[in-house]
Amino acid sequence: MKQNMPISFIKFFLLFLIYMDIGCAGVWNSPHLASKSSEAVLFNPFSISPKHLDPVVSYSANEWEIISQIYEPPLQYNYLKRPYTLEPLTLKKMPDIRYYDRSGREVDSDSRNIAFSEYTLNIREDVRYQNHPAFVKTSEGELFYGALDEQSLLEVTSPADFSKQATRQLGAEDYAYAIKRMAVRQYHSPILDSMAEYIVGLKSFSEKITEIAKETKKTGEKLDLRQYSIEGVKVIDPYTLSIKLKGKYPQFLYWLSMNFFAPIPWEVDLFYQQKGLIQKNLTLNWYPVGTGPYMLVENNPNRQIRLMQNPNYHDDFFPALTPEEAEQSTLPKELLQEQGKKLPFIKEVVYSLEKESIPFWNKFLQGYYDASGVSSEAFDQAVKVSSSGDMGLSQSMKDRGISLASAIEPSVYYTAFNMVDPVVGGYSQSAKKLRQAISIAQREEEYISIFLNERGIAAQGPIPPGIFGYEEGEEGTNKVIFEWKNGKQIRKPIEVAKKLLAEAGYPNGISKKTGKQLTLYYDTTATGPDDRALLDWRRKQFAKLGIQLVIRASDYNRFQDKVRRGKAQIFSWGWNADYPDPENFLFLLYGGNASVKTNGAGINSSNYQNPKFDRLFEKMKTMENTPERLEIIRQMLKILQEDAPWVWGIHPKSLGLYHAWYHNVYPHAMAMNTLKYKRIDAQLRYQKQQEWNQPIFYPILLVLAGVVLIGYLLYRAYQNRQRAVIKGDQ
């Protein structure tokens, strides 16, 4: 037995080496199939499962990241042009807009008598839907799969499991159908109430169709919207749709680039209303059907979502610039070289659930994800900030060929004063000076440096960069808070804030009326241990003025409730642009939207109401982007800066890291359907993955040797023990 042991071990060792040799041919730690890594497949993570993929409901960035590749609203943003520019997507040309007065007579776009606007949409005739069982019809034109029973669904787990699939052309009726779906209250469209203010007849249609939907739910019938119509939405011919709006609303064009206005074929709506499919989670909410460059082939929101190229996708080409534009352009060369090429480039997209940032970051470094954001934990490893505040990649990232793309987001995060609060609110000189003093004392630049790793810029007003009305330099400087010195915005010294505070009636933070220290209340949802540093910092900013800040922490529900009812005194909030128009930011301070005034429904959470500002807003909101509009915006910003209803806070900066094989990245804050422009060099990715992830063998040998040694020692110890027992017995 003793003589055989080394031979067995040698045999085992040789077998092990053979296995290792086989193993060398590939990598062991790849989370993807080897075949996919070497193809034009994009690997993306998602950390929060999408809740809705139904375009009428979906309103979250993580959901739009997926459905924007599948659905095609009439318009899209040009990928390369800045400022953000709309262009036709499924339309032959930009909508034809006509204006009418109350009597129905056509008037000019700048007329004061505009009562209605009519948008005429001419739809392309070469657009077809992805293949789907809903489009399969009987000879009578009925849905072939329109009455599925339990038996026929036994083997079905996705729409791809149906043996028959078909497609059909996109038509104007599909866009009208989508607007009708938006009107059904039971579908919970987040923009129904906003659109009902503009689209003629939408409100009354919604009331009617909601009642009908209630009845059909009770009786178990399907809700077929084809038989109903909205007064302001007309299908003129199979490829022409007209939408009539109340008044003038230029921002409507932006809405037409959003998924809420994506086409819904009636066949798909009726198909997905079948009970058996609903019970299998096969609904329009989970299996979208569109005309876009990709189609959803797998949807497990708890693990993986997979998109494949839509074989029926219409002609679509990488945007081209005119020779003059190209000459003036600072675009990367690789983007200019792609001009005119047929889209999309990527064959498949795999979104995998990654709830934790550490495994995701490590997989990105291993080359198993193609792009990554920069989390706080990975910031120091990825990014180097120079003494002047400029950001660059760390050496380890450069060595891997990773590139960095950054962009200021069209968002604003601010600290609001409740303008109906008796202490910080109001429009008296003393109230204004108190708010101005606090605004100066809040060193947002320090906040950006400490808590955001320089990822952001201090806001001068509500309008972020990239949006019409935002101005750089001295012209765009908030002169109440900052000074323009040596070509830079410099925050006014704390002494200025103290002086303002004294003038407001609180010298050194002591109230002249009561003789007591001024105490203010900050409402927040930041209740975790990680938020402590931030809250301490905030207290410190107020303490510089001698003001005591009391933190009132509560859960998000209570916090929202307080803000809605005007019970919060000071609080922080934020806003992301829906569309690149100043109206979408300035309406946050329009008196008509004041939260308290609208029973909590308004978007103006600080309850700011200045008649002069409101008048200017009403004038500005329907204007084109002209110098006249810019002048009005300047006046509005000046009023806001004087009144200081917000501490203007920050505009965040997003950072993205991209591997060398990921091409055509050009951050666009408004467009979500940009996947079709991206390109993957799969060969380079495969090569790098092999290079970076070869398994290391020696620990296996050490472990095996350790196990053998320990086993041997234990065996010896046991033998000795047994011998000792026998000796003891003797």
Partner 1 sequence: MLAYIIRRILYAIPILIGVNLITFMLFFMVNTPDDMARSQLGAKQVTPEMIEAWKAEKGYDKPLFVNTEAKGVGMVTDTLFVQESMKLFTFEFGFSDNNRDIGNDIRERMGPSLAIALPTFLIGLVTNISLALLLVLFRGSVLDTGMMVVAVMIMSISGLFYIIAGQVLFSKIWHWVPISGFENGWEGAKFLILPIMIGVFAGIGSGVRWYRSIFLEEINKDYIRTARAKGLSEIRVLFGHVMQNGMLPILTGVVVVIPTLFMGSLIMESFFGIPGLGSYTIDAIHAQDFAIVKAMVFLGSVLYIVGLILTDISYTLFDPRVKLG
Residue ranges binding partner 1 (CB under 8 A): 27-31, 33, 49, 51-52, 59-60, 185-186, 188, 190-194, 210, 278-281, 283, 285-286, 300, 302-303, 352-356, 358-359, 362-363, 365-366, 368, 555, 557, 560-561, 578, 599, 601-603, 693-696, 699-700, 714, 717-718, 721-722, 725
Q: Which is nearer to partner 1, 185 or 479 (CB)?
A: 185
Q: Kindly tell me the burial class for residue 726, based on how many C-beta atoms sit within 10 Å of its own C-beta (0-12, 13-18, 19 or more).
A: exposed
- CA neighbor of 312 nearest in space, from 102, 156, 169, 100: 169
**Nearest 10 degrees: Cα torsion 167, 170, 176, 181:** 30
Measured from the CB of residue 671, what is the shortest distance to partner 1 in angstroms? 19
Measured from the CB of residue 38, what is the shortest distance to partner 1 in angstroms? 17
Measured from the CB of residue 186, what is the shortest distance to partner 1 in angstroms? 5
Angle of helix 494-503 relative to helix 429-441, nearest 10 degrees? 160
Give the Cα separation of 387 and 385 in Å (integer). 7
Measured from the CB of residue 533, what is the shortest distance to partner 1 in angstroms? 22
Q: Which is nearer to partner 1, 27 or 172 (CB)?
A: 27
Which helix (H) or strand (E) segment holds residue 725: the answer is helix 698-729
Sign of the dihedral through C-alpha 143, 146, 151, 155 = positive
Measured from the CB of residue 29, what is the shortest distance to partner 1 in angstroms? 5
Q: Which is nearer to partner 1, 115 or 297 (CB)?
A: 297
Q: Which is nearer to partner 1, 234 or 280 (CB)?
A: 280
DSSP assignment of 445-462 equals: HHHHHHHSTT-EEE-SSS
Measured from the CB of residue 408, what is the shortest distance to partner 1 in angstroms? 21
- CA neighbor of 610 nearest in space, from 629, 587, 596, 590: 590
Measured from the CB of residue 356, what is the shortest distance to partner 1 in angstroms? 5
Q: Which is nearer to partner 1, 186 or 204 (CB)?
A: 186
Q: Which is nearer to partner 1, 95 or 652 (CB)?
A: 652
Q: Which is nearer to partner 1, 197 or 237 (CB)?
A: 197
Q: Which is nearer to partner 1, 224 or 691 (CB)?
A: 691
Kindly report the number of other CB atoms within 10 A of residue 409's CB atom. Answer: 19
Q: Which is nearer to partner 1, 60 or 626 (CB)?
A: 60
Residue carrying the six token digits 């939907």: 213
Measured from the CB of residue 451, what is the shortest distance to partner 1 in angstroms? 23
Integer CA distances (angstroms), 118 to 104, 114, 674, in order: 11, 11, 29
Measured from the CB of residue 603, what is the shortest distance to partner 1 in angstroms? 5
Q: Which is nearer to partner 1, 304 or 517 (CB)?
A: 304
Kindly report the number of other CB atoms within 10 A of residue 701's CB atom. Answer: 13
Give the Cα separation of 181 and 721 in Å (integer). 81
Measured from the CB of residue 188, what is the shortest distance to partner 1 in angstroms? 6
Measured from the CB of residue 201, what is the shortest distance to partner 1 in angstroms? 17
Which helix (H) or strand (E) segment holds residue 550: the answer is strand 548-553
Measured from the CB of residue 85, what is the shortest distance to partner 1 in angstroms? 24
Intra-chain end-to-end CA distance of the chain, in Å: 28
Angle of helix 532-543 relative to helix 429-441, nearest 10 degrees? 130
Q: Which is nearer to partner 1, 220 or 422 (CB)?
A: 220
Residue 33, C-beta contacts closer than 8 angstroms, at least 6 positions apart: none
Q: Which is nearer to partner 1, 511 or 554 (CB)?
A: 554
Q: Which residues of 313-350 are buried (b: 16+ CB within 10 A; e: fewer)?
A: bbebebbebeeeeeeeeebeeebeebeeeebbbbbbbb
DSSP assignment of 228-265 equals: ---TTEEEEETTEEEEEEES--TTHHHHTTSGGG----
Contact status, residue 632 vs residue 586, Cβ threshold 8 Å = no
Residue carrying the six token digits 């077929």: 224
Q: Which is nearer to partner 1, 89 or 596 (CB)?
A: 596
Q: Which is nearer to partner 1, 190 or 465 (CB)?
A: 190
Give the Cα separation of 2 and 567 in Å (integer). 85
Q: Which is nearer to partner 1, 10 or 710 (CB)?
A: 710
Which helix (H) or strand (E) segment holds residue 728: the answer is helix 698-729
Integer CA distances (angstroms), 10 to 6, 15, 17, 100, in order: 6, 9, 10, 93
DSSP assignment of 468-533 equals: TT---TGGG--TTTEEEETTEEEEPPHHHHHHHHHHTT-GGGB-TTT-SB-EEEEEES--SGGGHH
Measured from the CB of residue 368, what is the shortest distance to partner 1 in angstroms? 8
Give the Cα separation of 379 and 375 in Å (integer). 6
Largest interatomic CA distance in the chain: 122
Name the DSSP letter for residue 314.
Answer: P
Measured from the CB of residue 270, what is the shortest distance to partner 1 in angstroms? 17
Q: Which is nearer to partner 1, 7 or 696 (CB)?
A: 696
3-state secondary structure of 342: strand
Give the Cα separation of 116 and 337 in Å (integer). 44
Name the percent of the chain in helix, strand, coil, to the closest 5: 40, 20, 40
Measured from the CB of residue 151, what is the shortest distance to partner 1 in angstroms? 18
Measured from the CB of residue 361, what is the shortest distance to partner 1 in angstroms? 10
Q: Which is nearer to partner 1, 328 or 396 (CB)?
A: 396
Measured from the CB of residue 24, what is the shortest distance to partner 1 in angstroms? 11
Name the DSSP letter for residue 675.
Answer: G
